Each structure stands twice: as structure tokens, then as C-alpha cells.
Structure 1
Amino acid sequence: MTTTTHRHDERRISPVFLAILAVMAVTGWAVWTDFAALPGLAIFLFVTSAWIVSLCLHEYAHARTALHGGDITVGARGYLTLNPLAYTHAVLSIVLPVLFVIMGGIGLPGGAVYIDRGLVRGRWKHSVISAAGPLANVLFAVACTAPFWLDALDGVPTGFQYALAFLAFLQVTAALLNLLPVPGLDGYGVVEPWLSYNVKRQIEPYAPYGFFVVIALLFIPAVNGAFFDAIDALMRALGVPELSRYCGSELFRFWQEQPEICKIG
């Protein structure tokens, strides 16, 4: 009885996550109904809270697949409660990605939860655990873009379309960045179990810097252009107009002067 109760507590959804979810729901309603006096502020709060929810789901996906893969310690660490404050790297997982969205409008991948890899047996299980986080972003992006590629936008307010387009853009960028086979990112975690011992030993000293190298490379115009060209191609494939994503990004920064083409309400 005690063990069962303890396991239930380890998997009970955190009030912190529920509060963030409530903010997303209320601000999403405000955007949909154009209830807010400042539409841009409502979009900012909706996209930010939804982005944090997606980050929590990203980390939860890692933890849940690790649990089924053999790491029974993830529950005791609080990873199954969706509480962002329980993450090993709360700053990398939540704070830094949110700041990058505010400053640069890019979906930055966060720091992963700690997985006891010694408890996981089998290379495929290790790969699936690493891939689960980006897959959560992919599914979130599919949900956000569904009204676009299903041609189901009739009755969807313009401001809400803009918000969904920008939120989808963040999910796509986060998924693509995270799937890069660079040490420190989930993409490397997918391929790492299949590398030889010697190769892994040679790469290991550089693993802590891979994340920062990727961010630095994005400041190189040629790399930045190629990356965002790929993002734009994916967004078009998902049926999202460039104008919707652009206006969502501009309205998100409600403290700036809004382009006339994007003004709503």
C-alpha cells in the first residue's frame, strides 16, 4: 500500500505545471475572443506559457521513456510530475529557452533531465530516450499547424492564427536544433550508443561545449541563413504562411512598434 501510494505521488501532476497550463488556457481564450485590451500582451503570455508547457512535455518524454527503459529513479527525482522546478538544469531547461524566445524568437533546446544510463540496457532504448524529447516538440508543432494543413481556419481569429504560427515555428526550431548530432544535444544521444568506444572517448571532453558551439554557429550569416531557410521550408510544408509566422513573432514583442500589416483588434 505504501509503495503504491509513493509511486502515485511521484507521478502526480505538479500544481506548478497546472498553474502554467491554466495561464495558457486563459490567455489563449483572451487571444481567441480578442478580450484583452492589448492583443500583443495576450499573445505574449499565451505563447510563453504554451512554450513552457512544451518544454515540460519535452523533459517528461525523456523521463517517461527512461522509466520504461529501466531507469526507475526518474520518479524519485520528480521528473514524472511535469514540474519545471524539478529539472536538474532548470536554467538550461526553462529559463534560457524562454529568454531566447523573448530576445531572438528562436526555439532553443533545453538541458536534458538526468537519466541513469547504467540502468538502461540496450542501444535502441538509449536512442529512443534521447529521441523522445524532440518528438514531443514535433507532435506539438503538428498540433499547432493542424488548422493550417487541414485547411480548417474558418472561424479561427487572425490573432490566434498568428500565435499558433509563431508557436509552431518555435517547436520546429527546437526539434531541428535538438536533433542535430552534436554532443550535448539529443541528436547526439540518439547516435551515441552506436558509436565505438574509442570514438565516444575522443568526443567526451568536448560534450559540455557542443550546445554553445551550435548557438555560436547560428551567429554566422551563412549558417544562420541555411538554418532558417530549412525552417521556412518546413513551415511551408506544414501549410503555415510566412506572414502568419512573421506577424506572430512581431505581435509577441508587444513592447515594440507593430507593423501595420500585423495589427489586429
Structure 2
Amino acid sequence: MEELSIVQRIAIWVLPILFAITVHEVAHGWMALRLGDHTAQMMGRLTLNPINHIDPIGTLVVPGVLLLLGGVVFGWAKPVPVSWDKLRNPQRDMAIVALAGPMANLIMAVFWAVVCRLGIALALEFPMMGVPLAYMGIAGMLINAILMMLNLIPLPPLDGGRVLVGILPGPLAYKVSRIEPYGLFILLGLLFTGILQGILGPLVDLLLSGLVELVGVPKREFVGGLLTLMGAQ
């Protein structure tokens, strides 16, 4: 595939990133609502309008810098507020609310895989429409795979950490929950030492391979498009 300009790469990444982080947060709030907590609804956060979820650093600065550097692009939105004391079964329900975010990313990854397959098919007859769709589908698959696997790491305040707290017995859950104030620093340490990439890389690759097989995306086109989006060719 042809090399993309920085403007083209930004245009391709914008929608997948915004939807990935927005739907992830809305899923938390929607599940909390189903389990008895109306906090997110009352604060106007159960909306797909990305403006209501944008975090200036996590939604704009971090993805933009990573894109310019040619690295893996990811970001985050403002967390949706959840009042655990309003849930019907606080410990169990907090785990379910936390799991809703990564599961939303999985559903979106499947959706973008279908978009990619459609784009590749259209590119044969209508390249002006099909090629951008294919690239956008690849970007959507990647960002959602990364966000899903990252958030499933059992480290508070990530979703996986909250799930772990929700399923552990009381004393153990309390000990794990006390890690939360240091969780971001631990995550940054894993990132800078390369350990995080070593953990996430195989998991993301496995999920992407499954998606490619599931919807019948030609592997050669997928790999070529992915390398182009990452600025590797």
C-alpha cells in the first residue's frame, strides 16, 4: 500500500480513536445504570457525543504525539462516574461495570473488522471509497484490541484491576484496591521498561489474527495496511 501523509493518517485515526474511547466509557455508565446507579445518566455521560467524554491529555495530546512519533496510537477519555454504593451488589456489580468497557472494545473491534473487509472489497471497483474504509477498519481493529487488552490487565485502576477486586474475597480485595493510587506509576514503569509491550504484544496479535480469520480479511492486505498506518513503510 502507498505511503500516507501525516494529514491522511490523522484523518484515518480520528474516528476509530474517538469511538473506541467514547463507547468504552458509555458502556461503563450503561452497565452501571442497568445495575441501579443513575450517576452517569444524571451527569449527561450516557451519550455517544465525544465532546462529553474528551480528556484534553488522553484524547488529544497523547494520541497526537504518538501518531507523530509513529508509535502505537492509543488514548483515554474522562472516566464515567460510578457510585458504587448505589449499585445493588456493590462488589460484584463494580466488577461487571468494569468488564463492560473492554467488552465494548471487543464488539467495536469486530465491527471495524467488517468495515475493513468491506473496504477491501470496494477498493477493487471504487478505490476512492474503499481504500480509506479499509485503512480506517484496520485502525479501528488495532486501537480497540489495544484498549481491550490494556484494560484487562489486573492492575487498579485499570478495568482488569477493578474486576479482580470484585471477585476476590474481602481481605484480599481490600489489599489489591490499595494499589490503585500507585497503579499509574506501575503502568508507566512497565511501559518504559518494555515489559508492558511484551505482555500486550502477543495478546493484541492473537486478537487481531482471530478477527482477520473471523471476517475473512486477506492477511497480506491487513499486514500491509497496518505497517502503513504505523509509518513502517
- For the aligned pair, the TM-score class normalised by the smaller chain equals 0.7 to 0.9
SS in 2 for 1:218: helix
State how 1:89-168 maps to structure 2 within 5 Å: 90-91=55-56, 94-95=59-60, 98-99=63-64, 101-102=66-67, 103=69, 104-110=71-77, 112-122=79-89, 123-146=91-114, 153-156=120-123, 157-168=130-141
Aligned-partner Cα distance in 2 for 1:55–1:223: 20
Largest Rg, 1 or 2: 1
CA distance in 1 between counterparts of 2:153 and 2:80 reads: 18
Pick from 218, 221, 224 the counterpart of residue 243 of structure 1. 224
State the partner residue of 1:73: 39
Look up the match of 2:10. 44
Shift of the 100–139 alpha-carbon distance from structure 1 to 2, 3 Å rule, reads farther
In the TM superposition, what is the alpha-carbon distance from 1:160 to its structure 2 partner? 3.2
Structure 2: distance between partners of 1:49 and 1:151: 17
Gaps of 5+ in 1: 1-37, 251-257, 260-265
1:146: Cα distance to partner?
Answer: 2.1
Name the CA distance, whole Å, in 2 between partners of 1:115 and 1:92: 22
Q: Which moved more, 1:230-239 or 1:115-124?
A: 230-239
CA–CA distance in 2 between the matches of 1:139 and 1:199?
A: 32
Tell me how far 1:108 sits from its aligned partner: 4.0
Q: 1:105 to 1:151 in 2, by over 3 A?
A: same
CA distance in structure 2 between the aligned counterparts of 1:209 and 1:126, rounded to whole angstroms? 20
Maintained 8 Å contact 1:173/1:231 = yes
The alpha-carbon distance between structure 1 residues 116 and 223, as it changes in their structure 2 partners (threshold 3 A), is closer
Relative to the length of structure 2, the TM-score reads 0.77
Q: Give the distance between the partners of 1:175 and 1:160, measured in 2 at CA.
A: 22
Give the RMSD, CA atoms, in angstroms. 2.8
Q: Helix, strand or coil: the match of 2:181?
A: helix
Contact (CA 8 Å) 2:95, 2:163: kept in 1 or not? yes
- The 5 A counterparts of 1:178-189 are 178-189=151-162
Using the size of structure 1 for normalisation, the TM-score is: 0.69
Deviation of 1:68 (Å): 1.3
Q: Which residue of 2 aligns with 1:195?
A: 168
- 1:140–1:171: 8 Å Cα contact kept in structure 2? yes
The residue aligned with 1:25 is: none
Identity of aligned residues (%): 23
- The number of residue pairs the alignment matches comes to 213
The alignment partner of 2:18 has SS state of: helix
Counterpart residue number, 2:146: 173
CA deviation profile, 1:217-262 (whole Å, cap 9, x unmatched):
1232354234223322322222253222111222xxxxxxx83xxx
Deviation at 1:138, TM superposition (A): 1.0
Shift of 1:76: 1.9
Describe the shift of the 1:56–1:76 C-alpha distance in structure 2 as closer, same or farther (beyond 3 A). same
CA distances 1:168-214 after superposition (whole Å, capped 9, x unpaired): 11110010000111110011122212223322332333202213322
